[in-house]
Amino acid sequence: MTVTSRRERLTPDQVQSVTFPPARLGRRGFDEEHVRAFCAQVEGELVTLLNEKASLWEEVERLRRRMLGHNGDVPGYRPEDAHIQAVRILSNAQQTADRYVADAQHYSRQLAEDARRRRDEVLAEAQEHAERVLEEAHQQGTRAAEVAMMGPATLTPGERRELQAELAYLRTFSDVYRNHLRAYLEALLRNVEEWERAEKSSLSAARAELSAGVAELPLRPQPRLE
């Protein structure tokens, strides 16, 4: 079905000609989400119609009173009507505020979800990398041990040199890798701290703005992980 925006009115024609995409593989019937969305739209339309009916009724009552020339200085206009008008205006303002808060919450939820997903990806990648490196080191160690098992007696000077070179390489490799890992972890920690600072300041900024009556939330800088 084509999803129309909430503000757009639903017509009998649309209800008549609505189509739904089939459900995902392995499930029968129409796509549930689309059907639900359509039902919500129909419900919204019904509520709108009911409310329009109610305000039309009020308008009819007002005109009827006016015709009959009931009460007061301004013919057909009662203080209650003014109150109802005020209620409508305030209700609209409240709905606008609710929408802003809902949008801000939605945005913050998305940010948090993205950040969580990225964190999981980064950690998984780091773990995989570490495992690969360990595996490599392990294989090299095994190879070196196998050679050593043959016994020092059977080693030619050439083999011994090769073995020592291998050992030196492994030592260097281990040092370099340790340094890499340390630098990487430190960078991660720095990012977390930066994130925390940004969050603290945005929390207090948001509070200040909220108390100043501003409904907009400041954008939090995206944490950078690299």
Q: Which residues form the interface with another protein (CB under 8 A)?
A: 43, 46-47, 50-51, 54, 57-58, 83-84, 86-88, 90-91, 94-95, 97-98, 101-102, 105-106, 108-110, 112-113, 116, 119, 192, 196, 199-200, 203, 207, 210, 215
Coil vs helix vs strand at 30:
strand
What residues are paired with 30 via a beta bridge? 22
Dist. CA 157–CA 161, nearest whole Å: 6
Residue 139 or 204: which CB sits closer to another protein? 204
Tell me the closest approach of the beta carbon of residue 69 to another protein, in angstroms: 21
Q: How far is the CB of 181 from another protein (least distance, A)?
A: 18
> What is d(CA 125, CA 131) in angstroms, rounded to the nearest whole number?
10
Nearer of residues 68 and 112 to another protein, judged by Cβ: 112
Nearest to 31 by CA among 17, 44, 42, 19: 19
Nearest approach, Cβ of residue 87 and another protein (Å): 4
* 101 vs 150 by CB, closer to another protein: 101
Helices (H) and strands (E) in the chain, counts: 4, 0
Report the nearest approach of another protein to the CB of residue 93 (Å). 9
Tell me the C-alpha distance between 109 and 197, whole Å.
19
Nearer to another protein, 109 or 180 (CB): 109
Smallest distance from the beta carbon of 165 to another protein, in angstroms?
34
Q: How far, in Å, CA of 150 to CA of 185, rounded?
A: 40
Q: Which is nearer to another protein, 176 or 214 (CB)?
A: 214
Check: CB of residue 117 under 8 Å from CB of residue 147: no
Provide CB contacts within 8 A for 139, sequence distance 6+: none
Q: Report the residue number, 37 or 144, with the smaller CB distance to another protein.
A: 37
Strand pairing partners for 22? 30
Give least dist CB 64 to another protein, A.
Answer: 11
